[in-house]
Chain A
Amino acid sequence: MAPPAPILQMSGICKEFPGVKALSGVDFRLLPGEVHALMGENGAGKSTLIKVLTGVYDIDGGRITLNGQDVVFAGPLQAQQAGISTVYQEVNLCANLSVAENIFIGREPRRLGRIQWKRMRRRAAELLAGLDLHIDVSAPLSSYSLAVQQMVAIARAVDISARVLILDEPTSSLDSGEVEQLFRVMRRLKAEGIAILFVSHFLDQIYEISDRMTILRNGSLVGEYLTSELGQVELVGKMIGRELADLEKLEDRPPARTSEPLVQTEALGRSGAIEPFTLTVHKGEVVGLAGLLGSGRTEIARLLFGADHASTGALRIDGEPVTLRTPRLAMNRGVAFCSENRRAEGLIPDLTVRENIVLALQAMRGWHRPIPRRTQDELVDKYVAALNIRPADPEQLVRNLSGGNQQKVLLARWLILEPRLLILDEPTRGIDVGAKAEIQRLVAELSDGGMAVLFVSAELEEVLRLSHKVAVLRDRKLVAELPNDDGLTTGVIMETIASGGRA
């Protein structure tokens, strides 16, 4: 059966940001009546591609054709008018308004300028009934779950005559029943001939709903595949960038540690974030957390640092049961956490490099015991040199630094605390190769010096090179804990991720 002509065609798309080539020559097509998954790890270029398509960013090269005609959008609004609607994970509706209004605002049925509420509610109810959703449309949107809110957003998009519907990680915060409901709606829209671009980090969902997938890696196209023809292991390999055959054993594997446990969790979990897990980190041990984005890596890190509260289970540090209600309490126990989200959760952009580096130490000491300026300068100079932070000007505002150097500033902030457990969430993402090697060497040295490290990274080789053991996560669940012995390869980890530890 010959496939129908694509409704949307993007060819040779290029997009550059200062210093980064976000997309280089990416082709992408979308057929009417299909669910097309866009796959790739963090930084692969998925969101950039969506933003280029919807006119949030303008393109540097390549062309977009919709229904055979060249198009350039100035913004999401224009894209929507042309029939391309996007529904994000955080629903872009007004939660304070009623369900009916959210569908019709800006295009309410009126007579002589007077909004006809009854007619609007009736039409909204009909529209939602078409999506198999029977709810009170006069209730405010905020009174419904995120799943319903997303379906309301979809209903609005479809009613404004969407031919292309982009669902950007719509399932991230939904439970399994809600996901089922969403999939039913998606199948119904598919049957009506609407093309759906679907982004999700949950492999099971991809295989359940999508017909076809396009895989991106590092801003380039890996390929387009029929979902039914690509196995899970191959998919993970393509996303991470290694074919199974290429995977070799690593030579310099860290020596095993036999020391007393530092941190032990017993069925520690947080509902909606990470299912209860049991994990032990020994002194001087590097534990790698492997798993795709959204698999619960960051959630584990946040629980161990007291950034989120556990809803179940127990945590022991040095064998003593502890409850970490605030990051401060975790810091008192010698735990440090370097967040992957530098801008939102790490840096104070208005402060200088020096101030950002000494911030956590100063917070530990309290405002009344300032760190003497000379000590500050010594500490800062030491780490600016050790981590090769550029420009090497401690009085530069941290906002003026590049991403990699900002990351190093954050790392320095935690290293001067000399923690006993250092949690690093994607510390090497967006850093040049040299700095990456430096950070890896640093982690090995720190662990030799007795510091335990929880190392979260999407790069399996890095995890394997540094870790004494690897905990594998999938779909918010810790599915396996693998000792880093001769039998462990990136291939084994990928298979574990793909199979969910069922093998």
Chain B
Amino acid sequence: MTALVRHRLFWPAAVLLLLLAANVAFTPGFLSIEMKDGHLYGSLIDIFRFGAPLILVAIGMTLVIATGGIDLSVGSVVAISGALACLHISGLPDQNDVGGVLTAVGLALGLALVLGAWNGFLVAGIGIQPIIATLIIMVAGRGLAQLITDGQIVTVNSASYKLIGGGYWLTLPFSILIVLAVLALTAFLTRRLALGMLVESIGGNATASRLAGIRSRGLTVAVYAFCALCAGIAGLMISSNVSSADGNNAGLWIELDAILAVVIGGTSLMGGRFSLGGTVLGALVIQTLTTTIYSIGIPPETTLLFKALVVTVVCLVQSPAFREKVFQRRGRRRPAAPQATDDEKVEVPA
């Protein structure tokens, strides 16, 4: 039992189950999934479907945070990617032309990769703090997205493009399949290949990683590019779902939700060990929270209040300082532990 409670996915999983249980209590048919016109429908499917962009962005954010960084620009990249794709499609003579839509997707994702690489270059190449480096595109990127759409909401009417965010394939929403594919790819890259270990190593101890021969600069740039790519796909999904691109509001605050999902999932903001499963759980907690509030009849305006509550509780429970102050009341207070670094000499190059 203690082992279960100690497991690092225990708290996010518990919160998710609690939320689902609350839903079942208020909406008896909550868990049912039915087949209509060859498509699966149901509340659970909806949670996945609406949560898909967030899960995607959070997956990319997980890797960035694992390197000890953070990416604030993902919301802007979401907007830019959707805007560029919609702009290209709206200029096509035949908006259903698959080749044209694929070009649009390629352009959007290409630009996202460039923006991500730029972030990575600022962080790893120039050595700017990640939070500041990515602030630049967070601010300028919104302007860029509006520049692309000329401040308008660009609407498209393309069945092929609609598939990405609103379509079905093999009875499942296509967006869920995309998320599963990206998740599988990320899991493959990080856990089957050695990317995950090297990333955790950089985030865990950058100096030691360099002395072990890891090329952290290139890896860091790649991780930021990958994060932006995920945001780019999420941007396509969001704009495709509503068949329009809104440079101003698409992906607004998604970076905060994504960071939140990563933190709820048990990955430390200090970098190091990360958990993709935890991140997906975290994103689902956030999405389920929203759904729950709608379904049990609490005014939707209060979503943010609950979010604040969840962030505070999850972060406090995971904070070592909080645990020490609140849970370890019994027994003698330990004398101030020697700082880990104090014991050994630190060589200071003159």
Contact = CB atoms under 8 A, between A and B. Distances in A.
B208 A346 contact: yes
Most chain B beta-carbon contacts within 10 A, residue among A172, A307, A349, A367: A367
B207 A345 contact: yes
Contact of B194 (A51, A271, A272, A367): A367
A192 interface: no
Interface stretch (A216-224, A235-243, A336-344, A464-472): A336-344
Given A56-B338, A367-B193, A359 B201 contact: yes
Contact of A327 (B193, B213, B346): B213
A331 B194 CA distance: 19
Nearest to B349: A273
Nearest to B209: A348
B35 interface: no
Interface in B164-207: 189, 192-195, 197-198, 200-201, 204-205, 207
B3 to A, nearest CB: 15
Interface in B214-241: 214-215, 219
A363 B198 contact: yes
A56 B197 CA distance: 36
A259 interface: no
B66 to A, nearest CB: 10
Given A90-B348, A343-B344, A350-B272, A362 B211 contact: no
Contacts of A351: 197, 200-201, 204, 273
B212 interface: yes
A42 interface: yes
A464 to B, nearest CB: 24
B205 A347 contact: yes
B341 interface: yes
Contacts, number: 120
Q: Is the interface of A mostly helix, strand, loop or mixed?
A: loop
B308 interface: no
B7 interface: no
A308 B350 CA distance: 11
B301 interface: no
A317 B204 CA distance: 32
Interface residues of B, number: 37
A365 interface: yes
A271 B349 CA distance: 10
A337 B213 CA distance: 10
Contact of B204 (A47, A58, A172, A350): A350
Contacts of A339: 211
B215 A349 contact: no
Contacts of A57: 335, 338
B340 interface: yes
Given A341-B347, A343-B340, A355 B335 contact: no
Nearest to B273: A350
Interface residues of A, number: 51
A120 interface: no
Contact of A367 (B195, B212, B213, B340): B195
B345 interface: yes
Contacts of B347: 298, 341
A483 B201 CA distance: 41
Contact of B344 (A58, A331, A342): A342
Interface in A61-109: 75, 89-90
B210 interface: yes
Contact of A362 (B198, B208, B340): B198
A492 interface: no
A111 interface: no
Contacts of A272: 349-350
A47 to B, nearest CB: 8
A186 to B, nearest CB: 21
A132 B49 CA distance: 74
B208 A344 contact: yes
A230 interface: no
A349 B205 contact: yes
A341 B212 CA distance: 13
Contacts of B212: 327, 359-360, 363, 413
A344 B207 contact: yes
A47 B343 CA distance: 8
A273 B350 contact: yes
A271 B347 CA distance: 15
B265 to A, nearest CB: 16
A224 B222 CA distance: 59
A4 to B, nearest CB: 34
A22 to B, nearest CB: 10
Contacts of B335: 57-58
A337 B212 CA distance: 9
Interface string B124-165: 000000000000000000000000000000000000000000
A327 B210 contact: yes
Contacts of A363: 198, 209, 212-215
A174 B210 CA distance: 28
Interface in A133-172: 172
Contact of A348 (B189, B204, B348): B204
A367 B220 CA distance: 12
Nearest to A89: B348
Contacts of B346: 90, 341, 344
Nearest to B205: A348
Contacts of A56: 336, 338, 342
A10 B285 CA distance: 59
Contacts of A90: 346, 348
12 contacts: A17-B338, A56-B336, A90-B348, A293-B345, A327-B213, A341-B345, A342-B344, A344-B346, A345-B211, A349-B205, A362-B194, A366-B194
Given A345-B211, A363-B214, A369-B194, 6 more contacts: A327-B211, A328-B214, A351-B201, A363-B198, A363-B209, A365-B194
Q: Which 8 A-B pairs have the closest CB atoms?
A: A272-B350, A363-B213, A348-B204, A350-B272, A367-B195, A363-B214, A370-B194, A328-B213
Interface of B: 189, 192-195, 197-198, 200-201, 204-205, 207-215, 219, 272-273, 335-336, 338, 340-350
Interface of A: 17, 42, 47, 51, 56-58, 75, 89-90, 172-173, 271-273, 293, 298, 305, 307-308, 326-328, 331, 337, 339, 341-351, 355, 359-360, 362-371, 413
